[in-house]
Amino acid sequence: MKKAVICIFAVIGVAAALYLFFPSEKGIRNVKPLGETIICFGDSLTSGTGASFGMDYPSQLSGLIGQPVLNAGFPGDTTEAALKRLGKDVLSQSPKIVLITLGGNDLKNGVPKDEAFANLKTIVEGIQAKGALVVVGGISVPLLGRGFDDEYKKLCEQTGSLLIPNLFEGIMGNEDLMSDPIHPNDKGYQIIAERFYGVIRGYL
């Protein structure tokens, strides 16, 4: 009897240890993605405004993982605009892992927070329905952020997507990493590529 009790507690202890050391997949949807294509979907931060040719973050990410990465970024995109092209640019491309950078233009243009994140949730869930893993690059703007940073967290908790809370951390405001007040330069995009790579490498 004592041995049985000891075994039960040992199993519980191992399970607890595994939970503490490997919590990242808890609640994450599509940890074994079904598609074939790694897609970067977003606005000018994805398309590479401010980068030299071939130095946008999707291109640099491609070099890090050693396989093609589709750049589906479009400058100026809001979540509403991105939602309209979701089918053609993402869902039809056999998505395996989709990295999203959206919301910055909604924030800049004064789009209501609830509207922006309703669009973003529809985008995320549409991608997940294809069996793909989703990673969201969040933004955090002090004082002027209108609570967008908290909404990114809520979105990812609700949908089971992965989150980089502040993709611009240490980049925004650093003139060595920025091409203009909004967009990174080659070095800045390298950091963004490395941040996304750090999140997805275990799912490739």
The predicted model scores a pTM of 0.84
Residue 98 is predicted with a pLDDT of 98
Label residue 149 by pLDDT band (50, 70, 90). Answer: confident
| Interval 56-93: pLDDT, tens | 999 999 999 999 999 999 999 999 999 999 999 999 99
Residue 133 is predicted with a pLDDT of 98
User: Is 121 a residue whose pLDDT tops 70?
Assistant: yes
Range with the lowest mean pLDDT among 6-10, 30-34, 61-65, 110-114? Answer: 6-10
Q: Locate the DSSP E strands across 31-139.
A: 37-42, 70-73, 95-101, 133-137
Residue 78 is predicted with a pLDDT of 97
Domain membership flag for residue 23: no
Contact 175, 3 (CB under 8 A): no
% of the chain beyond a pLDDT of 70:
83
Alpha-carbon distance values, 196 to 56, 62, 147 (Å): 13, 11, 23
Residue 12 is predicted with a pLDDT of 37
Domain membership flag for residue 143: yes
Domain membership flag for residue 38: yes
Sign of CA dihedral 98, 99, 101, 103: positive
CA atoms within 13 A on the CB side of 56: 21
| Interval 91-103: pLDDT, tens | 999 999 999 999 9
Residue 173 is predicted with a pLDDT of 87
Domain membership flag for residue 24: no
Mean pLDDT (the chain) is 87
Residue 38 main-chain phi, psi, to 5 deg: -90, 125
Label residue 146 by pLDDT band (50, 70, 90). Answer: low
Domain membership flag for residue 20: no
For the segment 23-45, the average pLDDT, to the nearest whole number, is 88
Domain CATH number, residue 179: 3.40.50.1110
User: Is 19 a residue whose pLDDT tops 80?
Assistant: no
Label residue 6 by pLDDT band (50, 70, 90). Answer: very low
By residue range, what is the domain housing residue 38?
30-203
Spell 76-87 as b/e; 16+ CB within 10 A means b.
ebbbbebbeebe
- Total domains in the chain come to 1
Residue 10 is predicted with a pLDDT of 38
Domain membership flag for residue 183: yes
Q: Locate the DSSP E strands across the chain.
A: 37-42, 70-73, 95-101, 133-137, 162-164
Label residue 108 by pLDDT band (50, 70, 90). Answer: confident
Q: Which residues make beta-bridge pairs with 37?
A: 95
% of the chain beyond a pLDDT of 90:
75
CA–CA dist 45, 61 (Å, integer)? 13
Domain membership flag for residue 1: no
Residue 4 is predicted with a pLDDT of 41
Residue 21 main-chain phi, psi, to 5 deg: -90, -20
